[in-house]
Amino acid sequence: MNFITIDKNDWAAGIDQLKKTYLVFGPVQDENGCQIKPLAPDVQPEMGAPATVMSPKSVLFPQTEKILTATLDESSKDHHIMKPVDKNDTPRAVLGIRPYDAKAVQLVKLNFDNPDYKDPYWCDAYDITTFVGVGVNRPGPCDFSTSAGCGPFSEQGLDVLMADLDDRYLAKVLTPKGEAWAAACGFDTPADTAESQTLFDILQKEAEKQINTAISTDNLAQKTILDLYEAPFWDDVAFSCINCGTCTFVCPTCWCFDIQDETKHQTAVRFRNWDSCMSPLFTHHASGHNPRESKIHRVRQRFMHKLKYFLDKYDQGIMCVGCGRCVASCPVNIDIREVCNLMNDYQKDK
Amino acid sequence: MENPYMPYPVRIDNIEVATEDKSLKTFTFVFLNPGDEEKFAYKAGQFAELSIPGVGEIPIGIASSPVEKGFVKFTVFRTGVVTTHLHNMKKGDIMGIRGPLGNWYPWEKLENKNVVIIGGGFAFTTLRSSIVYMLDPANRSKFKNIDVVYGARSPGMLLYREELFEWEKREDINMHITVDGTDDPEWKYHKGFVPQVVEQNAPAADKDTYAIVCGPPIMIKFTQPALTKLGYQDNQIIMSLENRMKCGIGMCGRCNIGKELVCKDGPVFTLEEINQTPKEY
Amino acid sequence: MDTCIEKIRAIGADLLAKGEVEIIIGFSDGSIPMAARPVAVSSRDDMEKLVFNSTCGLNLANYVSKNSLSGKGAKIAVVAKGCDARNLVTHMVENQISRDQIYIIGVPCTGMVDKRKIASMFEDEITKFAEEGDTLIIESALKKLTVKKTDVLRHNCQVCTHPNPPVFDVMAAEPVAEQTLDQPFADVDNIAAMDPEARWAYFQELTQNCIRCYACRNACPLCYCPTCFVDESSPQWVGKGQNQTDVTTFHFLRAFHCAGRCTDCGACVEACPMGINVREFTRKLNKDALELFGWEAGLDLEKRPPLDVYSPDDPNDFIK
């Protein structure tokens, strides 16, 4: 771990140099707000941008991703035999993400990289990706990351954490991937470790002070799944829900997906798409039976998965980093902070 | 890194119509690549994704038995897009199989125990696999009494009829075959629903007896009290669940009941375990 | 507009007390600035939750077609601005609900604010939003702005000609003045004036950020089909991926399903997390319905919608 200082006048040139060896992603402003996208050759990342509507999860987990393909041409020797698609193994760097999004990647990793199976698409992408975050000097009103096991200057999952000091960035290089990134950019001006750390600590404290909403999660582990599942508040929580998938799509920790086949001429393609537990189709059996047929089932599933099932299954905290995207984007203002606190405070009547 | 989404290529070696209404067919597959059969080593109770390029995948219980070599067999009900396509395929066609997936009936725990197998309708596939496995000369001595209650709407809707009637003749397995009704005067087995037949014919439970139950929800619902009446504890009742699945490897997120993923942590659970989860199946 | 909330609460309390309705569907304050949350109130104590302001941009008719409560025969009161009431009428015309099932608490509407437009006036996130008459006071960590509400109205509210509910059981305030527009569809005319390639490019760009969350569909009171065509699997009409053809197919077909039914309430745009102006599709069909059939949806309980009836003098200029 070491600190380097990057003059903002040198930043653009460094990123241009980075693009020679890396596929570079970063916040890009368009009329619909800010999104993390691959940067075109002439585009620089909007480093000071407000929180992005969508999380950067698509860098490792695109909304639509081809996974296998086969030819259906029976004159071909290998017809109807599925093969993996070609992958782009150019190293990727994601710039300007907020720290909670890197923490989210670590939570998603528990799903895609486990002792039984490794998802090769996600894992390969993860292996070649460097996460360069920027500490959040001014967290917004939806940010509750400090109470969700994270925070505006959290280092979890990041390869580099930068602090924005107006005329320069102070970068804390956390991993070998981070060192390789700095070298690829040509950023090599060392900064004093003790001084830099003190600066980081001050900024962190300042930022955390501005976060004035919190969730309580301390009681969740000791409650039983069935008690929470059968709690009386789900009807009220779900009333306003219109069962769109917005919350799940904007969420950095939602990983559910669908697998679909399509054919074009003589080529079959199997690909996967983000899916959403808000959709009735998600669990709809071919027989017509649907174990989560009402929206109450589906709303409950989302919160139970994030705040209870995940916690019980992995013992790594909740499946939420407190980014507040679902709160900001929900058309009907369902607020995970309220639901989490309802669950945490719930006492079953004896 | 092994790609768990890659199916093994297989050829359809045989297709048999399994029931009189033709809604079920039994497909026998042979692996195209030598060595894949060994990689596909499975246990009775597991399932696999039948994978048709350009059409999709469908999770189906493995009906052949680990002791049967050279092929794998699946009995498939025609219901959705993939199964309808599969029913229209022909011998010699190439497709894929991905697996084996999920857990299996707890064979280690069942050693030296009495096993009661209870099945209904077309949920008899992995039960067939289990019976063939237990009756194999190398395995039979590992188990005490074996009872089988199997019912269908009518004689023509029973799966694996010839095998059933062969097992009927054996001394080392007690078969209780039943149909909801039939006007066949020659029918020499039970008439009546599975729960009744269980109550009247299944052995009462002691600590060395386990029941494996597989069937439509309505059968399961009424079989549970029958077993409880016979003294079975919830941890002696073993069930196999079905839910909508896609990946089959616990990643895509749809098949959960509580924190358990039916595709990976299941499909086999004891009733005691199921009682701890929301009834979302 | 906030002045009528006391009246709404009083009407609600009275309806519950007399047992005339079992629940009142309205808006409550959201947990973040500029958010309003649809809520069902069934007790006098909860009546204080009800609010009505310029952020109540969703359409509450959406909650009586798909809401499980409506199936139980309970009588429901709905707090309805002009467009909500028009969609309730549309539900009735389409036999989704019956008139005697719904008690309409009409609210004359002075328009809803364009939350994206307001957000774009700030570099950081908005922390406070208050409304005093026609003035909005909006704050972020970096600045505080005082804005005239009329300057930040949603486009559909700027061109609205029916702010008062056409059908109601009681009004919570005196009706507001209704405007007539010389050019009600200037936006559509601008697009129509493009050459075909430019028009195609315009719509492709419009939907390029669509994530297919279907918030537009699910916020729309018209979209009550038990299985939407995009969710149908046999046959599968539309691919499920982010292929532009499939995305476009969804938007085009959804718009056509709304032809002659859309009240231009703007709930679709309000709900879209990606800021897509989905109304660009439906507006053209609204224009056709008005110009070809003299039809605006949701104004009349007795008249049948134009696509519901055949008349020998239906315009047929499209047959060449």
In a domain, B271, yes or no: no
- Domain positions in chain C are 1-111+162-180, 182-315
- pLDDT-based confidence at residue A308 (cuts at 50, 70, 90): very high
Contacts with C236 from chain B: Cβ below 8 Å = 81
In a domain, B205, yes or no: yes
Q: What is the pLDDT of residue C313?
A: 87
One domain for residues B175 and B232: yes
Chain A contact present for C58, CB below 8 A: yes
Contacts with B, C 62-101, CB within 8 Å: none
- pLDDT-based confidence at residue C70 (cuts at 50, 70, 90): very low
Q: Other C-beta atoms within 10 Å of B200: how many?
A: 12
Tens of pLDDT, residues A59-109: 999 999 999 999 999 999 999 999 999 888 999 999 999 999 999 999 999
pTM for this structure? 0.94
Number of domains in chain B: 2
- Whether residue A68 and residue B250 make contact (CB cut-off 8 A), yes or no, is no
One domain for residues B83 and B192: no
Tens of pLDDT, residues B29-71: 999 998 999 999 999 999 999 999 999 999 999 999 999 999 9
One domain for residues B122 and B162: yes
- Whether residue A82 and residue B53 make contact (CB cut-off 8 A), yes or no, is yes
Please tell me the distance from the alpha carbon of residue C239 to that of residue C237, in angstroms, as a whole number. 7
In a domain, B276, yes or no: no
In a domain, B179, yes or no: yes
One domain for residues B79 and B144: no
Tens of pLDDT, residues C238-268: 999 999 999 999 999 999 999 999 999 999 9
State the residue range of the domain holding B175: 107-240
Contacts with C, B 38-97, CB within 8 Å: 80-81, 84
Most C-contacting residue of A58, A244, A258, A269 (CB-CB within 10 A), to test interface: A244
In a domain, B2, yes or no: no
In a domain, B256, yes or no: no
One domain for residues B94 and B143: no
One domain for residues B118 and B83: no
Contacts with B81 from chain C: Cβ below 8 Å = 233-234, 236
One domain for residues B130 and B82: no
Most C-contacting residue of A66, A333, A342 (CB-CB within 10 A), to test interface: A333
CB-based contact C37:C54 (threshold 8 Å): no
Contacts with A334 from chain C: Cβ below 8 Å = 37
Rounded to a whole number, what is the distance in Å from the CA of B24 to chain A's nearest CA? 14
Rounded to a whole number, what is the distance in Å from the CA of A47 to chain B's nearest CA? 33
One domain for residues B93 and B122: no
In a domain, B76, yes or no: yes
In a domain, B171, yes or no: yes
> In this structure, what CATH number is given to the domain that contains residue B21?
2.40.30.10
- Whether residue B244 and residue A309 make contact (CB cut-off 8 A), yes or no, is no
Instruction: Count how many pairs of residues, chain B against chain C, have C-beta atoms within 8 Å.
Output: 6
Tens of pLDDT, residues C75-133: 899 999 999 999 999 999 999 898 999 999 999 999 999 999 999 899 888 999 999 98
Chain B contact present for A284, CB below 8 A: yes
Contacts with C38 from chain A: Cβ below 8 Å = 239-240, 332
